[in-house]
Chains A and B, each alone.
Chain A
Amino acid sequence: MLEQQFGMTVDTRTCVGCAACVIACKTENRLAEGYVRNWITTQTRGRFPELVMTIRSERCNHCRSAACVRACPTGASHYAAGGTVQVTGSKCTGCKACMAACPYDARYVDEQSGTVDKCTFCNHRTSRGMATTACQEVCPTRSIVFGDLNDPDSEISHLLAQRDWYTLKPDAGTRPSHYFLK
């Protein structure tokens, strides 16, 4: 069997941008005031009055060819179980090379610890065998689906097989594991 490769889909047809996922993540991970690890992006296109709005819940893309991991001089940013990208705080110097390297600006410096932080794909949950992330659990429209991309029977694999999707900034060459359903 293939190794696990965790990924996430956000259904942009059903996401209403309520930001419950943002607050859930903030609470779950006890983030300091003013900091978030995921966020809502809204994009409006077209010409008035024919406007189309896209809403997305975004976070670190857990890239499979992660620019942040390559840029990190200490190995603090690394690939971890489930193909996710994690930061080991005790190795982080706060040099911010990873932040400069990330095309999505998904990282920030936690002012208290001085180390870099970002979405972990809830690895504190998955390492204990839980199958959901905090953001997925609270989403009232069930727009967020988290799962194993290498398991052909997972919900996420089905969604990606059946629906049109895109990833963010594919030209940046980072091979995100985070997909947006059209």
Chain B
Amino acid sequence: MEATSTRANPLVDPGLTIWNQDVAIYLFLGGIVAGVMILSGAMRLWYKQEEPSLALRLLPWGNLALISIGMFCLFLDLENRFNSWRFYLVFKAYSPMSWGAWVLLLVYPVSAHMAWAETPAHWRETVLRKVPLLRPWGEWSVRARRNFAALSIVSGSVLGIYTGILLGAMPSRPFWNSSLLGPLFLVSGVSTGAAFMLLFRLNQGERRFLGFLDFLLILAELGIIALWIIGMAAGGEASLQALKLIFGGPYTAAFWSLVIALGLVTPAIAEFIEYKHRAIPGRGAALLVLGGGFALRWIMVYAGQHSGWASEASAGLF
């Protein structure tokens, strides 16, 4: 006979890991996708300096691939995958997870339209000649290109904010429970999106534009992180305890070295120097930004689950 009486649920105790690396990867890829959607939409609408490079025009296809990998990770994280269609039977306004499921449904068609409309005309024509059935949709998509670019900015922003709110809307975890997590993940997402784009063969003007934009985004991100820390420091006992996770606690070294020093400050300096000397931004800073963006989500997902409300203190026992 088994007589376990201490709390011993293998999926909760003793380590309390509810969400693991799958969710960190999903949030990371979701952020990049949001960033690329916003940036490619914005560049289609407002960046008029030169003919867009082939790489820029093909990037939305890469986006579709990334979001598919991200969704696959989320799918892997589900414990009861056969029920995943249940997400789409209801919309629960209070549940960020529900928002996320529906937002992904919007992101797919918008990204697909963007990808198609940005594909060079002669390639599109080849496809349409082979599959004439697609012609009405294919031509309409291109005519509506600017509308889709605008929609891409909007849905990318919602996706980016949602990746933060998924964690931020959990009052149970003081490390997460901040409305700043939405903007933080959005800005970080756009920054990693820009870094992802810089990995490809963009032309010089595009590289300069994205490099300098990324510098500004990193500054904004550092500012939001500072506010988030101040918010926790100004909070109650539970928030202070949560803050200790990155001030002396187990995530201190990783947070300050991987996220702040290597992932934000170093690339920001590099990008600023490149801008000052009118150099063409390379891939080094971009890789650091991507590494830092991943580390941020990894640490957030794990550290947040270690934060909570102390029952003794709040029950007035001590």
Contacts and interface: CB of A to CB of B under 8 A. Distances in A.
Interface of A: 19, 22-23, 26, 33-36, 39-41, 43, 45, 54, 67, 70-76, 90-97, 99-103, 105, 107-109, 111, 113-116, 166-173, 180
Contact of A39 (B7, B172, B238): B7
A141 to B, nearest CB: 15
B4 A36 contact: yes
Contacts, number: 163
Name the residue in A22, A97, A116, A168 with the highest tally of chain B Cβ atoms < 10 Å from its Cβ. Answer: A97
Nearest to B100: A73
Contact of B314 (A22, A35, A76, A171): A171
B170 A67 contact: yes
A97 B8 CA distance: 20
Contacts of A35: 4, 8-10
Contacts of A109: 11, 79
A172 B96 contact: no
A174 B314 CA distance: 13
A172 to B, nearest CB: 5
Given A45-B318, A108-B9, 7 more contacts: A36-B9, A45-B317, A92-B80, A93-B78, A167-B315, A168-B314, A173-B171
Contacts of A170: 314-315
Name the residue in A93, A96, A99, A103 with the highest tally of chain B Cβ atoms < 10 Å from its Cβ. Answer: A93
A100 B314 contact: no
Nearest to B79: A94
Contacts of B166: 97
Given A74-B90, A94-B79, A96-B18, A169 B170 contact: no
Interface residues of B, number: 54
Contact of B9 (A34, A41, A76, A93): A34
Nearest to B166: A97
Interface string B221-241: 000000000000000101000
A23 B5 contact: yes
A72 B312 contact: no
A93 B80 contact: yes
Contact of A34 (B10, B96, B236): B10
A122 B11 CA distance: 23
Interface stretch (B81-89, B107-115, B148-156): B81-89
B19 interface: yes
Nearest to A56: B311
21 contacts: A22-B4, A22-B5, A26-B4, A35-B10, A45-B312, A67-B170, A67-B171, A72-B95, A74-B86, A93-B84, A96-B19, A105-B12, A105-B13, A109-B11, A111-B11, A114-B80, A115-B80, A169-B311, A172-B171, A173-B171, A180-B315
A166 B317 contact: yes
A58 B301 CA distance: 27
Nearest to B13: A105
A100 B306 CA distance: 10
A75 B92 contact: yes
Interface in B299-316: 305, 308-312, 314-316
B79 A33 contact: no
A64 to B, nearest CB: 15
Contacts of B12: 99, 105, 107-108
Contacts of B97: 71-73, 95, 97
A34 B6 CA distance: 10
Given A92-B80, A115-B80, A99 B18 contact: yes
B127 interface: no
A115 B308 CA distance: 23
Interface string B205-247: 0000000000000000000000000000000101000000000
A45 B316 CA distance: 13
Nearest to B176: A100
B101 interface: yes
Given A72-B95, A169-B315, A90 B83 contact: yes
A176 B83 CA distance: 29
Nearest to B169: A71
Contacts of B101: 73
